[in-house]
A and B are shown apart, each in its own frame.
Chain A
Amino acid sequence: MLHVGLQHFLVVGALLFSLGLLTVATRRNAIGVLMGVELILNGANVNFVAFNHYVTGGVSGQVFALFVIVLAAAEAAVGLAIVLAIFQTFRSIDVRLADTMRE
């Protein structure tokens, strides 16, 4: 039980994912929310690599994880650009303050 196996990595992945969801759900700061998304993506990546090592062999899971890292970087770039644009107009990045619409 103490020796490291697939389940150990999966638990780490599940915890990362859950903490990411918690971050997303409770954060008001938009950058904080994006950090939560990074945690979620990392949780998935740990799963991919662990399954790759313990279940499938080969490198397909690692390749998938690499693509996820690339897309996460792109998503962070777009997301943070939008956050900065919001900050220029609102002087705040509180997710709940940006609420001019709801009638």
Chain B
Amino acid sequence: MPRKIVIWVVLAALVVTFVGVLGARMAEGAVLPEIILGPLGLTDALFYLFAAMTFAGAATVALSKNILHSALGLLAALMGTGSLYVFLSADFLAVTQLLVYIGGVLVLILFAVMLTNRITEVKISNASLGLVGGGALLVATVPVLVFVAIATPWATIVPAELAPTTREIGNAFLTRWLLPFELASLVLLATLIGAVVIARKELKQDEPDTSVS
């Protein structure tokens, strides 16, 4: 178990460093170094590495019998996608992914896993039922989606150089996307109140009797 944890910590540190360093370099306007490794450039090799990590993490989420392993798989998948964003000139998004998704959502999920289990007992109901049905679903969706992804003649352009996007995103939020931006704050407020309402203990005191009508 400790060795596993060490591996996870090292992995997480690697990704955070990668995203951090690249994000910082992109913010300075530098480009990725073009190092050739055999048939692949360094960028390509890194892409395959992170894509593999994402896929492995997602597969763990889907297939692991242990909910805690699923949560760690989700961590790997989220970090992997976060790193992929860096290749797509989305530095701000990559950092947001790390902060909000991994720092927020994943921690929330881990808390929920812990709270709904006795912490010592790790194996809980996460048994995969209906693997046949799930497999059939997979067989039905994957080929179609992969075919759509590969065969469709997407109208691609020559992508812009990697450049910092934060300023542009900030401007977009407060001009073109102002309404959704404000709406998001309302959604957050409403769900925050809702989550509190749902999760808090039932109020017993100062309730005027309303049961008799």
Contacts and interface: CB of A to CB of B under 8 A. Distances in A.
Direct touch of chains A and B (CB < 8 A): yes
A66 B75 CA distance: 18
Where chain B touches its partner, the secondary structure class is helix
A81 to B, nearest CB: 4
B120 interface: no
Q: Interface size class for chain A?
A: 35 or more
B100 A70 contact: yes
B159 A53 contact: yes
Contacts, number: 237
B93 A80 contact: no
A101 interface: no
Q: Interface size class for chain B?
A: 35 or more
A85 B199 contact: yes
Contact of B192 (A4, A34, A77, A87): A77
Nearest to B105: A76
B67 A4 contact: no
Nearest to A84: B199
A32 B116 contact: no
The 10 closest A-B pairs by CB, nearest first: A10-B149, A14-B145, A26-B134, A81-B195, A19-B58, A81-B199, A74-B191, A53-B88, A81-B198, A23-B62
Interface of A: 2-23, 25-29, 31-32, 34-36, 38-39, 42, 45-46, 49-60, 62-63, 65-67, 69-78, 80-85, 87, 92-94, 96
16 contacts: A3-B44, A4-B44, A7-B150, A12-B84, A14-B146, A21-B138, A22-B134, A22-B138, A23-B70, A28-B127, A29-B126, A32-B126, A49-B88, A50-B88, A56-B157, A73-B101
